[in-house]
């Protein structure tokens, strides 16, 4: 692979990686500042959103809808696995693993996970449209308004 191709591949991961880091930071901030149900459900939604952007870091050419499907599959699998003892055992190893795997199954989390995945998808699609509009304007092309 040429150095230019390697650079392009790295650059295609910068934006989703930056958003992924921002989502994680926001989730940790919410856990530190809020309490109760708002902290819990916002945290769950942001967890799913972080999965969405992590998928785009891993596979930057993935279509947004495929990243959403992958995000929901992973998120629901982790949540449903909480009906077993495996996530609880993993969570007891280290506090960070508790943030990743959780401990207790809650059906309401499935709604928050879907909301987080859809929010990630919406952010990514909106950014794609903004970037497309800017590249069209910078090339001197007219963009529909």
pLDDT digit string, tens, across residues 95-107: 888 888 888 899 9
pLDDT band at 138 (very low <50, low <70, confident <90, very high): low
- Tokens encoding 129: 């449209």
Q: Which of the two residues, 141 and 86, has the higher pLDDT score?
A: 86
Report pTM: 0.85
- Look at residue 25 and tell me whether its pLDDT is greater than 50: yes
Region 38-48: mean pLDDT is 95
Asked if residue 5 has pLDDT above 90, the reply is: no
> With left for phi above 0 and alpha for psi between -120 and 50, is residue 36 left, alpha or beta?
left
- For residue 109, the tally of other CB atoms under 10 A from its CB is 24
User: Where in the chain are the domains?
Assistant: 3-138
Amino acid 45: pLDDT:
97
How much is the pLDDT for 137?
A: 64
Residue among 44, 47, 80, 58 nearest 9 (CA): 58
- Is residue 136 within 8 Å of residue 143, measured between CB atoms? yes
**What mean pLDDT value characterizes the chain?**
89
Statement: residue 35 has pLDDT above 80: yes
Give the distance from CA 87 to its chain's centroid: 20
> Measured between alpha carbons, how far is 53 from 71 in angstroms, rounded to an integer?
9
Nearest 5°: the CA angle 7, 10, 15 is 130
- The pairs formed by 65-69 with CB atoms below 8 angstroms and a separation of 24 or more are 65/121, 67/120, 67/121, 67/124, 68/117, 68/118, 68/120, 68/121
User: What pLDDT does 141 receive?
Assistant: 43
């Amino acid at each position: 692979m040429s150095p230019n191709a390697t650079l392009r591949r790295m650059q295609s991961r910068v934006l989703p990686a930056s958003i992924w880091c921002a989502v994680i930071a926001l989730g940790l901030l919410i856990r530190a500042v809020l309490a109760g149900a708002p902290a819990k459900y916002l945290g769950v939604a942001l967890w799913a959103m972080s999965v969405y952007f992590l998928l785009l870091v891993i596979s930057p050419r993935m279509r947004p809808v495929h990243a959403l499907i992958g995000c929901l599959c992973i998120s629901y699998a982790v949540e449903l696995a909480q009906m077993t003892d495996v996530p609880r055992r993993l969570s007891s190893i280290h506090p960070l693993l508790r943030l990743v795997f959780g401990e207790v199954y809650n059906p309401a989390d499935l709604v928050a996970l879907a909301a987080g995945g859809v929010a990630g998808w919406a952010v990514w699609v909106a950014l794609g449209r903004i970037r497309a509009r800017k590249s069209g304007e910078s090339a001197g092309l007219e963009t529909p308004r």
